[in-house]
Amino acid sequence: MANNLGKGLGALIKSYGSSDNDSNIDILIESIIPNQNQPRQNFDKNELTALSESIKKHGVIQPITVRKIGDNKFELIAGERRLRASKQAKLKKIPAYIINISNESEMMEYALIENIQRVDLDPIEEAEGYAILSGKHNYTHAKIADYVSKSRTEVSNKLRLLNLPPVIKEGLKKSSIEYGHARAILSLKKSTIMIKIFKEIINKKLNVRQTEVLIKSINNNKNKIDKKKSSYYNLELELQNYLETKIEIKSPKNKAGKIIINFSSSKKLNQIINKIKNKFLI
């Protein structure tokens, strides 16, 4: 199948053997059941209404694709929007390609490809489709990429979107932010910071480039803080906990150095000295 996917849906239809010499036929809409593997979940009501009005005037230009599952019964593989809009237009029949697919993973591939090539999926729906192929059908990222004519990196990046906090995923679905925003946000790692930046993007109407600059500055500041932690950081913490004061160990290039013990008063100094004596008193 992989050799056909890059050639478009026409090649796929022919490879699976459609009915009536690859031409479409009209089938009863009431005989079609939904595709359980449909990757697209969000359907804009206004867009459906507009498509429905177009169908009333011009008919269904691009046939849907189905597979036969019994006597006069068909399962939808691709064309959910056209089917919904046709129902809304009160059509009784719809043009369809009937192809021979029995494997669930192949149905998922087909539905994904149809939606991706028509640019119908939002990034989260696309990622969820890849996740089903990966998790349920054991496809590698490279295999998915080959099947949908995208790079392996692109597939992996889309799958990473599923690690975003729910509020950000919902924002991406609703186009509150773009895919580029979401990719930049992922580099922040912590959910609380991700959500904070997500809200800032919306409130300040930051574009993708502005978001990348903002997040780069956040990550750079974090790296500076991490670099300031000396190789003796754990020892500093241990001494601080014991002496109950701030400790700094200075040792350039791990050679000879010094320990700086901070104290706020003479009383605190005496307490520190007593603790040191007690610790090392034989």
pLDDT of residue 16: 44
Q: Is 80 a catalytic residue?
A: yes
pLDDT of residue 237: 75
pLDDT of residue 229: 55
pLDDT of residue 269: 86
Residue with tokens 């011009």: 58
Contact 128, 164 (CB under 8 A): no
Catalytic residue among 47, 53, 80, 236: 80
pLDDT of residue 156: 93
Domain ranges across the chain? 2-154, 164-228, 233-280
pLDDT of residue 119: 55
The tens place of each residue's pLDDT in the chain, 282 residues long, gives 444 433 344 444 444 445 443 457 899 999 998 877 666 666 778 888 888 898 898 888 888 888 888 788 898 888 888 898 999 999 999 999 888 776 666 776 676 666 665 556 789 988 888 888 888 778 899 988 887 778 999 999 999 999 999 999 999 988 999 999 999 999 998 899 999 999 999 999 999 999 999 898 888 776 555 555 556 777 777 777 777 788 888 777 667 788 888 888 888 888 888 888 776 654
Q: Which fold has domain 164-228?
A: Arc Repressor Mutant, subunit A (1.10.10)
Report if pTM > 0.95. no
Taking the CB of residue 27, how many other CB atoms lie within 10 A of it? 21
Pick the CATH number of 2-154 from 3.90.1530.10, 3.40.50.720, 3.40.50.880, 3.40.50.1100: 3.90.1530.10
pLDDT of residue 22: 44
